């Protein structure tokens, strides 16, 4: 079975045709439980997310801020494994029809086997993989497996990336480019930062791929700000915060993430 790279492309293109950015929501698998995380991701699509990223919890999430680290810790203590991550991808995709990507550090994929992981992610209906710590120069094994199974390989660019480096990274990627809005770890911010628009402009100079911005967006106003210059707005920490704030009351947590997705979806549409 091939993955859903094509679905990802058509979804991003459909948002562009509506003169708006796509809304991409992130949640780590297994948080608060595997079943609870599946229901929460489905609620995010119901609220207005166009694309879902499912995180593979890692014991050393160097690029994640304290909120997502807390969620990862809960998931790992709950016993989540790659099987649970793939199940989450499969059930969210089957329930919503939205493209679902896996966001993971390279080490778990390398240990599991790149070919095996790509094959099983595609079989689950996954659209691709975001690999924030995999250098392009060391990515050939993964990229070949991903291409063979119809998966996107999404690389991350940062404000510190020079133009020549942006060209190298974007030439190797597929699906879209993940532009980190600022230097540092994930988390909500008072301001998304002026660096983001400059990074999107410089990235677009080297690729036709959509450029989606993450790190720091947490409300409708920030979503509208980023959507004015990016092809997609990526939100993770804000959704995790809502679930953490409603631990012990799943219905309230689902209502909260659904409502937040609705507010953010309204924001990306307002920018048009």
Which positions are annotated as active-site residues?
53, 64
Q: Which position has the token pair 């080490």?
A: 107
Sheet holding 22-28, edge to edge: 152-154, 128-130, 100-103, 51-55, 22-28, 232-235, 211-214, 177-180, 156-157
Residue 180 CB-half CA count within 13 A: 20
Strand intervals (E) in 73-225: 100-103, 128-130, 152-154, 156-157, 177-180, 211-214
Smallest Cα–Cα separation from 3: which of 129, 111, 142, 95? 129
The Cα 111–Cα 62 span in angstroms is: 18
């Amino acid at each position: 079975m091939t993955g859903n790279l094509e679905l990802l492309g058509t979804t991003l293109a459909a948002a562009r045709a509506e003169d708006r950015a796509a809304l991409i929501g992130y949640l780590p698998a297994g948080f608060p439980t595997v079943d609870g995380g599946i229901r929460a991701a489905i609620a995010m699509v119901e609220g207005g997310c166009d694309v879902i990223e499912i995180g593979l919890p890692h014991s050393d999430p160097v690029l994640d801020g304290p909120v997502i680290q807390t969620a990862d810790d809960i998931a790992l203590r709950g016993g989540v494994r790659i099987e649970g991550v793939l199940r989450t991808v499969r059930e969210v995709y089957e329930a919503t029809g939205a493209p679902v990507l896996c966001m993971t550090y390279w080490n778990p994929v390398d240990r599991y086997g790149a070919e095996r992981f790509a094959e099983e992610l595609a079989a689950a209906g996954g659209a691709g993989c975001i690999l924030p710590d995999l250098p392009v120069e060391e990515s050939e094994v993964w990229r070949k497996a991903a291409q063979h199974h119809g998966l996107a390989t999404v690389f991350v660019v940062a404000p510190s990336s020079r133009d020549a480096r942006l060209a190298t990274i974007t030439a190797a990627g597929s699906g879209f480019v993940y532009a980190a809005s600022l230097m540092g770890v994930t988390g909500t911010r008072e301001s998304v930062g002026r660096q983001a628009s400059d990074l999107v402009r410089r990235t677009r100079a080297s690729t036709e791929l959509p450029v989606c911005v993450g790190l720091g967006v947490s409300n409708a106003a920030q979503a509208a700000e980023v959507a004015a210059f990016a092809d997609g707005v990526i939100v993770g920490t804000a959704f995790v915060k809502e679930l953490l704030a409603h631990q012990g009351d799943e219905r309230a947590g689902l209502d909260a993430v659904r409502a937040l997705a609705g507010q953010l979806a309204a924001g990306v549409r307002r920018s048009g």
